[in-house]
Chains A and B, each alone.
Chain A
Amino acid sequence: MSVYKPLTGAQATAEAMRQINPDVVAAYPITPQTPIVEFFAEFVANGLVDTEMIPVESEHSALSCVVGAAAAGARAMCATSSQGLALMWEIVAATPGLRLPIVMPVVNRALSTPINIHCDHSDTMGTLTIGWVQIYSENAQEAYENVFLALKIAEHPDVLLPVMVMQDGFITGHGVENVKVLDDAVVKEFVGQRNPDRYLLDLEHPYTIGPLALPDFYYEVKRQQEEAIERAKEVYLRAGEELAKITGNTYPYFEEYKSDDAEAVIVILNSAAGTAKDAIDELRAEGRKVGLIKPKLFRPFPYKEYREVLKDKKVIGVLDRSISFGSYAPVYAEIRNALFELDHRPAMQSYIYGLGGRDIFKSEIKNVFEELLSGNVDSEKQKYIGLRG
């Protein structure tokens, strides 16, 4: 039976890992991901899991260990944030090419410099191009459930790619919420055993993993990888349908909140979507036609599906919690891209907010809607919410 527990996002993630009971976990503590590793280490120490937990000297080693374990045939997990993700980048980039189904929760935190421990999305947005599946979570409940979803996608024979599951540093990671935790036995049955078609510890069937591929083969291997992440789109929905049976929730590509008949829609990731929903409720009470699209699956990006729901909107505002220096902000760029095929495109406005953990308030989101509805938008000019002039 499911039970409600007061858990932080990090705790909920550790709880999901406990229920998965992976063969190997290697991670290095980094704020604000630290409690995930701490809680999980406690489960190991108390004998609640059978996991081999490998203490390592850095994130580069953490993901290296997990890659080695996954190649050997283990179900292996890691977790990180910001600078840790940056330090393991070499292996982060290598993992999708090796086609290893590793699930890694990432607690979003601003990248240095200036050094900062609070939330923005500059860490994971910096890894968009290298082939990890990325799922974003609004709250602790989603962060918890998305770990199971990620595992199903990662290990699906049509995919076999690593998956990152995001949640906002401190806001979600350290904030206590009422989380509905599934029954251990139900999760155990849902996640099953990893069943790799080949693995290095199978001594009867040796093979070579990670060999050199020069100009005559590298290109073909990368084309395969692209095909795999494309397939993850469909697998995400199927895995979501399966997960829905045990959670009662749904797992679409993005959440649509009062956007159906909305004239102005904002697109916003993770925890700020919660604030936006409150703002929308208040504006709706005043009769304003406003709504929200909250992306969940961000890689692979479901362009067509976004185009379908956004095509008739009057105006769209996209709020990004990171800057893509010298170009359009990452979420804005994708939404803008998704609309290219339309003959008549909605008006658009890109906003930056919340860098380095700067709060975003309901009043600011309401102002965004006012601005969008007033028509004072410029699709080529980035605006900044909550920035001192």
Chain B
Amino acid sequence: MADKTGWKDLMRGGDLPPATSREYKTGSWRSLRPVLDLSNCIHCMICVAYCPDMCIPVVRSEEGVVGRNGRIYKGLVRLETDFDYCKGCGICAEECPTDCIKMVREEVVETSSK
């Protein structure tokens, strides 16, 4: 909807084609970043269920990934947060039972990664 359509050509009632939220990168709102320590993750999916922006990707992994206490977690595992959409609300960090997500100010993350 980047073009500025006139009122006669808009969909009725301001309706839109489906899934326009994909084009809207809520990641630009973020001031705190959830920094994930995967080595402490138990892939319980609690963060996935709570994330209001559905921006924690989940895949099925047959070979498994290394998580808490060096254990191999097989089946559904979470991946790194999708920062295009993560708005930095911190709900995942609050809910994670193993405290493996820390909210860090974006400018701190940026400086330390330079």
- A-B complex is real: yes
Residues of A at under 8 Å CB distance from B? 97-99, 160, 198, 206-211, 213, 216-221, 223-225, 227
- In the complex, whether B62 has a CB less than 8 A from a CB of chain A is no
- In the complex, whether B10 has a CB less than 8 A from a CB of chain A is yes
Q: In the assembled complex, how far is the CB of residue A311 from the closest CB belonging to chain B, in whole angstroms? A: 34
**Interface residues of B, count at CB 8 A:** 17
Interface of B is mostly: loop
Scoring B residues 17 to 50 as 1 if CB is less than 8 Å from chain A, else 0, what string do you get? 1111000000000000000000000000000000
Given known contacts A99-B13, A160-B12, A217-B1, A223 and B7 CB-to-CB distance under 8 angstroms:
yes
Residues of B within 8 A of A206 (CB): 18-19
Residues of A within 8 A of B19 (CB): 206, 208
Nearest CB to that of B9 among chain A residues?
Answer: A220
Contact B14 A221 (CB under 8 A): yes
Given known contacts A160-B12, A208-B15, A224-B13, A216 and B4 CB-to-CB distance under 8 angstroms:
yes
14 A-B pairs with C-beta separation under 8 A: A207-B11, A207-B18, A208-B18, A209-B13, A210-B14, A210-B15, A211-B14, A211-B15, A211-B20, A217-B1, A220-B6, A221-B7, A221-B13, A223-B7
Q: In the assembled complex, how far is the CB of residue A247 from the closest CB belonging to chain B, in whole angstroms? A: 31
Residue from the set A98, A208, A210, A227 with the largest chain B CB neighbour count within 10 Å = A208
Contact B13 A97 (CB under 8 A): yes
Contact A220 B13 (CB under 8 A): no
Residues of B within 8 A of A216 (CB): 4
Contact A220 B10 (CB under 8 A): yes
- In the complex, whether B16 has a CB less than 8 A from a CB of chain A is yes
Contact B7 A209 (CB under 8 A): no
Nearest CB to that of B10 among chain A residues?
Answer: A220
Residues of A within 8 A of B11 (CB): 207
Within the complex, which residue of B5, B17, B18, B20 is in contact with A220, where a contact is CB–CB below 8 Å? Answer: B5
Within the complex, which residue of A99, A208, A220 is in contact with B16, where a contact is CB–CB below 8 Å? Answer: A208
A128 to B11, CA, bound (A): 25
Residue from the set A211, A216, A225 with the largest chain B CB neighbour count within 10 Å = A211
